[in-house]
């Protein structure tokens, strides 16, 4: 009998979630501290005890309810609800309200003024030191 005709086949749901998470049976086995054959047997079983299901859910990064309520149709609907934003005319707020070159030139002018102030401070320091030397 096919597992597709059994909506509550927990093992098959675990298998599908594992595949969607791009995880191999070996990786799940390692996370659970078991071997690949045990995972294969678990995925072929129709029911799993609640303790083991909690461990599997944790290893897969989902909740127990997510495993119990999983369906391929729901997963397909979930991914179909995403829209392709590359070709849409959605504005994500990255329209400039200023000229970037103007901002660059403002920054250049600011840096020039800071440099001139620094240069003036250095000249004042040199004059002061020369004055001290001439007094001795």
Residue 84 has pLDDT above 70, yes or no: no
- Give the tens place of pLDDT for each residue, 108-120: 999 999 999 999 9
Residue 130 has pLDDT above 90, yes or no: yes
What is the 3 state secondary structure string of the chain? CCHHHCCCCHHHHHHHHHHHCCCCHHHHHHHHCCCHHHHHHHHHCCCCCHHHHHHHHHHHCCCHHHHHCCCHHHHHHHHHCCCCCCCCCCCCCCCCCCCHHHHHHHHHHHHHHHHHHHHHHHHHHHHHHHHHHHHC
Residue 51 has pLDDT above 50, yes or no: yes
pTM of the model: 0.54
> Percent of the chain beyond pLDDT 70?
82
Residue 46 has pLDDT above 50, yes or no: yes
Residue 1 has pLDDT above 70, yes or no: no
């Amino acid at each position: 009998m096919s597992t597709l005709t059994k909506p509550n086949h927990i093992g098959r749901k675990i298998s599908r979630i594992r595949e969607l998470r791009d995880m191999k049976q070996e990786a799940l086995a390692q996370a659970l501290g078991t071997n690949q054959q045990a995972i294969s047997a678990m995925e072929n079983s129709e029911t799993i005890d609640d303790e083991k299901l909690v461990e599997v859910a944790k290893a897969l990064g989902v909740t127990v309810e997510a495993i119990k309520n999983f369906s391929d149709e729901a997963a397909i609907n979930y991914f179909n609800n995403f829209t392709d934003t590359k070709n849409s005319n959605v504005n994500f707020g990255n329209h400039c309200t200023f000229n970037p070159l103007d901002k660059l030139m403002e920054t250049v002018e600011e840096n020039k003024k800071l440099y001139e102030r620094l240069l003036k401070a250095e000249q004042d320091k040199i004059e002061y030191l020369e004055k001290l030397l001439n007094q001795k």
